[in-house]
Chain A
Amino acid sequence: DSGVTQTPKHLITATGQRVTLRCSPRSGDLSVYWYQQSLDQGLQFLIQYYNGEERAKGNILERFSAQQFPDLHSELNLSSLELGDSALYFCASSAPGVPLHFGNGTRLTVT
């Protein structure tokens, strides 16, 4: 158990809809990272937050947004969903200098 909790584990929704994925980092970790993993692609870095502030941004679509709350949990919001957004979405957390620890992901299926 990595200590990183992601909910829900599975999510099925229709095109055009909006969903929210939630991540609780390991106790004490201030950084949260979001990754997307499609079937035919590797792990794509989306965005990083550190103690509530956006720290780094990767290939995150404008339809996607994220935030980190004062209690350090994070949410990834995906809107105007398309079939191509179907993927595994992983959250990871870390402390400075400490390797990332990943949750077991949310599998999103857009129909």
Chain B
Amino acid sequence: LAKTTQPISMDSYEGQEVNITCSHNNIATNDYITWYQQFPSQGPRFIIQGYKTKVTNEVASLFIPADRKSSTLSLPRVSLSDTAVYYCLVGDGSWGKLQFGAGTQVVVTP
């Protein structure tokens, strides 16, 4: 499975856009990029998944450049409730041995 690298923490103010970039230089052809959000003492929650270019849903956007060696999760107009740890994962959909990295702690303040 491709190793991922993402910032340990990011701070933001309410109403701002937060962009978290994840590096995955060894991504394989069949791999998808998936982002999860985790609040304290809760299970990770699926946010968005993509393979290439741009994916958008009601919660976030995911930008993937042509070489797919990185991806950026964009959270528009964050609120206090977006304070959480965000994980970037890369895998081919079989998900066996899927290992989470340290994630990015996002703190949103008023």
A residues near B (Cβ < 8 Å) are 2, 4, 31, 33, 35, 42-45, 48, 55-58, 88, 90, 92, 94, 96-105, 107
Contact = CB atoms under 8 A, between A and B. Distances in A.
B95 A48 contact: yes
A97 B92 CA distance: 8
Interface of B: 34, 41-46, 49, 87, 93-103
B45 A33 contact: no
A58 B97 contact: yes
Contact of A42 (B46, B49, B103): B103
B51 to A, nearest CB: 11
Sorted nearest first, the 3 A-B pairs with minimum C-beta distance are A102-B43, A56-B96, A43-B100
A107 B41 contact: yes
Contacts of B94: 96
Given A43-B100, A99-B34, A33 B43 contact: no
Nearest to A56: B96
Nearest to A107: B41
A99 B49 contact: yes
A99 B96 CA distance: 12
A102 B97 contact: no
B98 A101 contact: no
Contact of A45 (B41, B46, B98): B98
Nearest to B43: A102
Contacts of A4: 43
Contacts of A102: 43-45
A56 B103 CA distance: 23
Contacts of A31: 95
B100 to A, nearest CB: 4
B61 to A, nearest CB: 17
B18 to A, nearest CB: 21
Given A43-B87, A105-B42, 14 more contacts: A2-B43, A33-B98, A44-B99, A45-B99, A55-B96, A56-B97, A58-B97, A58-B99, A90-B44, A92-B44, A98-B93, A99-B34, A102-B44, A104-B43
